Each structure stands twice: as structure tokens, then as C-alpha cells.
A and B are shown apart, each in its own frame.
Chain A
């Protein structure tokens, strides 16, 4: 990872944005506070010395152990993590941003967790966010057209959540 001093600059520019980091691991990552995400992304793309002009991938990871025996042993609380893989064309450098969200908004099952959309920063985020919404159930605030993209529009549930159960039947077709 070339030039990690931009992290200090980022901290100075946007206070309280970086709430965790690991710059020593395989893919150096920063944990960003969810309410500062959009601001941070815009800074990284437009003001940062290494211009992260490409958003390669958005992934949502559902941290939930469904097996009660194993669940007792894990250290983390159930949560959803959104991972942004950024890439700088000029510097040929990459950066990982992580955002932690609750699995459900206000811990109310059925209420999708919310995070601001970065579609206004990188146009490519459009489809990626739609996919994450479709498969993992994250509400991206400010996305122009948040619809399911891979699953049919009337599909129920979010397949990439750990507690997802395949429907028994869909339009007369057997699911399981």
C-alpha cells in the first residue's frame, strides 16, 4: 500500500470519519462511520492526493451465526458489514472501506438498515448498490432507483443473509 499518510489528512479533513483501521493486513482497510460515509467517499475521490476514482466492488457481509452452539462462542455481535473496494487509476493503489451497520434498523426485524448511497460519487455504484440491496437487504439512502436487480421484482427476502430461507414455492414452482 503506497502512501498511507492520506489517512491522517482524511482524519483532519473529516472529523470522526475513521473509526477503525488496519493498514498492515493483506488489504489495508479503514472503518468509516456510517453517517460520514458519503462525505469521506467524496473526499477520497476529489480531494485526496491519491484520487480513488474507481469503485470496484461493494459487498455486504452478514455477520450472524445461526447455529446457537457456535453463536455462543463467537466474539462479535450480529451485524452487517459493507465493504467498499476502491481503486485509484493514477496511483494503481487500492483501498478498502468498511462500514458497520446493524442487521436491522433499530433492531426491528424487517426494517432494512440504512446507509447513504455513494452513487453520486461513483456512477458505477448504481448497479452495485442495487445488487447489495437485492441480495443483502441494505437500504441505500439517496439512490436514484433502488430496485431489485438480479432477483425478480416480487421476490421475498434477501438471499445473502445468513438467516435466509428459500421460499417453499414461487409462482407455482417448488423452491426446496
Chain B
């Protein structure tokens, strides 16, 4: 305890010694994003130790993958990060394509960019809204869902599903876009752009929000890398890595010719191609505020990418191409590929013995690694900071438990 008191200046205000108490937060707790259980050891309001218990949503998708062909497993990837199912589909599809050394048509490539970036927006909207909820404000959540509904409408038109799409599949897409869809998508983007300012007013620059998130749960870049944190969590700590730019060639080839700047703080500044609110004085690189802000920037960045991909897609003449057969034979060997999903780098690993059914399937979950660092971030914070920290990691239990 004395160590904690030395480390954290805020705690000096609470100097009444009390007995330690074990508190169970979850799995039915309102702010644990599904079925996460946190065991807190607290001294009054101060959390001296936090331990996450996961597995409440475990269904051993990897074992299921050993009994299905590669394309048949696509719907199971939907149910991992169910808020960004398109990105999950893409991750698995690309991994199998890597093993097959298969390249999709140019048109499919741009369509994939278009769809996954839209889904990234949808996922970050939930992340943002739910984060507001974690901090005790309800309205931003509904503002976020209002816009997300429109996105889901677009997805529904494309593939018939609102949450578990299975749209991107091995070797291409299950269907082409319906007529008039691109116009509706553009209309959405035009309508959505000014709404982002609303979010910044309600949350990013809100004095109470800044007070609650700035300098809370500071994650150093070294620790982030050591724990295998990825995505906005890693970039929030100022590490300039985005697999869309730095990943393997089969993935970066998808983004060939697209202009985007990785949302990361460099020399004290975020990329400034849009009007963003200034970084508050109290915010420290790697704290909850920065993780949140990186997500907000990625929404704008994704909108940009979507606009570019709409242009490219509509310029592509040729056919979209058919996806591979349901029971396509996989060559013997293995392939591992990580893609940049909204929550972080989602890795898929496929081992094949030459039959259509993979010998072993592995999903490396980004949120799994991101959550693993949470005990470090929560040491010595207050109970109210625990939801703030967990929310800033933006975990989805479906992906962690698989």
C-alpha cells in the first residue's frame, strides 16, 4: 500500500486506513462491456489490485474451425468482434488467401477497403458511446447509435445482416453492391461529418470528461509493446504502427495508392488535416484521453478512406469475381496474418495438411492482449477509474473469449 501511496499523488487526499476488501465487478456489472469479471482488491475507494477473469463467452471457435472448411468458418469470425464483423471476415479471408497465394480482383479489393473502413467507423462509434456510458453520461451513447444505425442500414442492404455479416469471404465477396448504394453511402458521409464535431463537444473537450480521462491509466509505449497491445491502444501511447501501412504485403497491397496518415501523436501533434480540438493540458501521452482521441481521429481517417475507395471502386470496370468454392482444397503449410481491426491487430493462423478442412485454426485476439495490460493500468487508481480504463481499451468480450 505504501508503494501505491508514493506513486500516486492523488491518493494523498484519502489517508484514512481501512481494511482491504475484495469486490467483484461483473460479470453482470453494467460497465464491463459484456461478460467480463473483474476482481478488485480495494482499500476504501483505492484499487490496490485488479484481476480480470474472462471466458464467460468462450465457445472454442478454434476447435469448431478444425471441423469446417475455411469458408464455412467465416460466420464464426463474425461472432468474435461482433462490432466489427467485416474486419474479422477480412482478417480470416486474407489469411486463407495468403496460404492459397490467391489475389482478389481490383474491384473486390476496393470494395473490401470501403466496407471494412465503414465498419471501423461503426465500431469506433460504439466504442465512443460506450465510453461515455462508462463515465456516466448517457446521451453520447445514443448519438453514436443513431449514426451507427444508418451504417447498419447500409450493411443490411449489402448483405442482409445488421451485425454478423459474413460478407467478405475467402476469394472475394458474397455479393456486389446493390444499385444506388454508393450514393446513399456518400449521403451518409456528408451527413455524418458535422456530427463528429458534436461528439467532440460532448466528450473530447468536455471539462469533466477531460478530468476523468486525462492522466488516468497511463500506458507507456514500452509496456504496451511488451504486453502485445495493438491498435488504438498502442497508438494512443504514441507508437507509430498501423498495419494498413506497416503490415504484410498481402494486406498493405489492399491500401496501395490510398492516402492516409496514421492517427498517432508525433512531436506533440496529431496529424492536422482536419479541425481537431487541441490536446488538453492535463493529458499525458498514453492515458485514457489519448486512446479515446485516437479512435475519434480514426473515424475521420476512415471516412477519408471510404471516400477514396468509393472513387476507385466506381472507376473499376471488370467483374467483382466469384469467391472460392466452399470446399476449396488448401495447400499443406501454414500462414499467419495480422490485420488492423478497429480494436487492434487481429491475427489469424491457419495450419493445413492439404485437405479443405484446416488442421488447426488460431485467432489471435487484439482485445485479449489489450485487456491483459489492464491490471497494470488499474493498480492504485480509484474504483471510478476502473470503468474508465477498461472502457478506454475498448474490449469486446466476443473477441477475447472466442
Contacts and interface: CB of A to CB of B under 8 A. Distances in A.
Given A25-B333, A26-B335, A124-B369, A92 B246 contact: yes
Q: In terms of DSSP, what is the predominant structure of the interface of chain B?
A: mixed
Interface stretch (B68-76, B79-87, B253-261, B344-352): B344-352
Contacts of A59: 349, 360, 362
Interface residues of B, number: 37
A27 interface: yes
A89 interface: yes
Given A127-B372, A159-B63, 9 more contacts: A27-B335, A54-B226, A55-B228, A62-B360, A89-B241, A94-B336, A122-B227, A128-B228, A131-B368
Interface size class, chain A: 20 to 34
Nearest to B55: A150
B62 interface: yes
Interface of B: 54-55, 58, 60, 62-63, 98-99, 223, 225-229, 239, 241, 246, 248, 333-336, 338, 345, 347, 349, 351, 359-360, 362, 364, 368-369, 372-373, 401-402
A45 to B, nearest CB: 9
Contacts of B223: 123
B369 A150 contact: no
Given A56-B347, A127-B369, A61 B359 contact: yes
B349 A85 contact: yes
A57 interface: yes
Contacts of B98: 26
Contacts of B372: 124, 126-127
A122 B226 contact: yes
Given A96-B336, A150-B54, A150-B401, A123 B226 contact: yes
Contact of B60 (A85, A126, A135, A152): A135
User: Interface centre among B63, B248, B336, B359, by most A CB within 10 Å?
Assistant: B336
A27 B372 CA distance: 26
Contacts of A25: 333
Given A150-B58, A151-B58, A56 B334 contact: no
A89 B228 contact: no
A135 B61 CA distance: 12
Contact of B225 (A27, A89, A128): A89
Contacts of B239: 89
Interface string A17-58: 000000001110000000000000000000000000111110
Nearest to B241: A89
Contact of A83 (B228, B349, B373): B349
A159 B373 CA distance: 26
Contacts of A127: 368-369, 372
Interface string A156-176: 000110001000000000000
Contact of B226 (A124, A128, A148): A124
Contacts of B63: 159-160, 164
Given A89-B225, A123-B227, A149 B54 contact: yes
A54 B229 CA distance: 9
